[in-house]
Amino acid sequence: MKAIYKRELKSYFDSMIGYVFIAFLVAITGIYFMVYNLNMGYPYFSYALNSILFIMLVAVPVLTMKCFAEEKKSRTDQLLLTAPVSLSQIVLGKYFAMVTVFAVPCAIYAVFPLIIESQGEAHIGIDYMAILAFFLLGCVYIAIGMFLSALTESQIIAAISTFGVLLILYLWEGLVDFLPTSAMGGLIGILVILTVLVIGIYQMTKNWVIAAGVEVLGAAAAIGTYFAKSSLFDNLLPDLFGKFILTEPFTNIAFTHIVDISGMILYFSLIFLLCLSDRADNSEKALELGGQYCGEIEKTIWNDSYETRCVQFGADSGCSCCGNRD
C-alpha cells in the first residue's frame, strides 16, 4: 500500500492538481473568514467553514476524477491490478493519498481559530470539532468521488457524476420533504430500495439465484408487514432518508454546538462501504484479466525500482501459469 500511496500522492503534486486544490480551498475559506470573523466579528470559525460546503462540490470532483478513470483510459489499470499488492491496498493507497491532499488545507484551518482568539472572544474547542467534522465530511465526499471514478474511464464523466451526486446530497435535506408520507408510499419506496440493493448484490456476486432470493424474501417480508401493521410505513421514507443528511453532523457542531456521535459513525460507515464497493468493482476487473492469455513480460516501475514481472499475474521473472521468462 505504501508504494501505491507514494505514487498517487506524488502524481497529484507533479500535475499541479494538489497545489491548485489546496490553494483554492484555503483562498475561498480565507475570504469567508475575513468577512464573517474579522469584519463582522463572529467568534465562530465554523461559520466560515459552513459557507464553503458548496465549494466542496466543485473541488472534490477535481481531486478524485483521475483516481481510477485515468488508469482505465491509459490501460495502466491492468498493470496495477496484477501488481504484487492486494486490491484493498490499491484502493486504500489511492484513497489515503487523496485524503492527505485534503488534510493539508484542513491543517491550515487550525490556525484560523487562533487568529480569532488573538482578536478577542473565541471558541477554540467548538471550532476544532467543526474542523474535524468538516474533514470527515470531505473524506466521505472523496470516497464517493473515488467510487464514481472507478465506474468510468472518462475523467470528465467522473467529475460531472461526482458533482451531480454531491449536489443531490447537498440538497438532500430539502429533497426529503418531498418524499411521500403515506403507508402505501412507504411500501413502494421500500420495494424500490430493495430492488436497487438486489441489483448491487448481483453486480458483486454475479449470482442471479442469490439476487432473486433476496428480492423475493425481502418483498414478501415487506408486503406481509404492510398488511399486518400498515402504520409502520407511515412517514417511513422521510424518517429513513432523513438519517442520511450528510451535512447535518457538521452543521450541528457549527450552529448548535452539539457533537453528533451517530453522525460521525455514519461518516466512517459510508467511507468503509464505499471503499469496499471500490474493491469489489476492481476485483471483477482483476478476474477478467485473470481469464486472459498470459504471454507478455514487461518492465515496470514498482517500489521505486525496476522489476521484471509477468504483466498478467505479477510474478517476478515469469509466472507459474505460462512459464514465461525475461
pLDDT tens-digit readout, 215-235: 999 999 999 999 998 888 998
Is residue 318 pLDDT above 80, yes or no?
Answer: no
Tell me the average pLDDT of the chain: 81
How many Å separate Cα 320 from the centre of its chain? 37
Q: Are residues 256 and 191 in the same domain?
A: no
User: 255 is written with which cell numbers?
Assistant: 450552529
Residues 28 and 61 both lie in one domain: yes
Q: For residue 227, what are the domain limits?
A: 183-234
Are 89 and 21 members of one domain? Answer: yes
Residue bearing cell 458548496: 54
Tell whether the model's pLDDT for residue 287 goes beyond 70. no
**Which of the 8 DSSP states describes residue 309?**
E
One domain, residues 116 and 256: yes
Q: Are residues 53 and 155 in the same domain?
A: yes
Assess whether 79 and 50 both reside in one domain: yes
Adjacent-strand bridge partners of 299? 308
Instruction: Evaluate if residue 8 carries a pLDDT over 80.
Output: yes
> How many domains, the chain?
3
Co-location of 71 and 162 in the same domain: yes
The verdict on 90 and 226 lying in the same domain is no
User: Model-level pTM?
Assistant: 0.79
Alpha-carbon Rg for the chain, nearest whole angstrom, is 23
3-class DSSP string for 64-90: HCCCCHHHHHCCHHHHHHCCCCCHHHH
Indicate if 135 and 187 belong to the same structural domain: no
Judgement on whether residues 75 and 196 belong to the same structural domain of the protein: no
pLDDT band at 298 (very low <50, low <70, confident <90, very high): very low
Same structural domain for residues 286 and 313?
A: no
- Are 63 and 17 in contact, with CB atoms under 8 Å apart? yes
Q: What proportion of the chain, given as a percentage, has pLDDT over 70?
A: 81
Are both 139 and 276 inside the same structural domain? yes
pLDDT tens track for 138-156: 999 999 999 898 888 888 9
Specify the range with the lowest mean pLDDT, choosing from 60-69, 80-89, 144-153.
80-89
